[in-house]
Amino acid sequence: MSRENVEVVRGMWAAYARGDVEALDAYAEDTVWDDTRYRPDGAVHRARDALVDVVLTWRATWEDHDIEVEEVLDAGDDRVAVMLRESGRGKGGGVQMTNRWGVVMTLRSGQIVHTMVYRAPEEALEAVGLSE
């Protein structure tokens, strides 16, 4: 199942990077997206509808936005670790930014049920025991 999980996650991020919000269909209805380890004001978003709202709000803040998947790894126990690079410029002449971050996604029956977001790819790798 781990290869299939990696492909589900890889496909979701590829679609998301193209701006395809339907990529969020890879998430289970009862999914949880946890930002508490990523942002000081991080929240836990419960349910796919809540995640769609967060993504649409996030995308609306950007004049241009790009997300690049650097690496997708099978982390065992139905988990997939993803290393990401995000860049963009905020609307209204906002500041250009580039950020690297990591996520650990847990899947059940081919859908993403939990995502933990980390400030750095290394933190995500450490969380799943793949750090050097």
CA distance 78 to 96: 36
Domains defined for the chain, CATH in brackets: 2-122 (3.10.450.50)
Task: Enter the pTM of the model.
Answer: 0.94
* Residue pLDDT, tens place only, 106-125: 999 999 999 999 999 999 99
Predicted pLDDT of residue 1: 59
Show the DSSP H helices in the chain as ranges.
Answer: 2-17, 48-60, 121-127
pLDDT in tens, 17-63: 988 888 999 999 999 999 999 888 889 999 999 999 988 998 899 99
Largest Cα–Cα separation, the chain: 45
Query: What is the DSSP pairing of strand 96-108 with strand 79-90?
Result: antiparallel
Residue 106: CA count within 13 A, CB half-sphere: 12
> Pairing relation of β-strands 62-76 and 79-90?
antiparallel
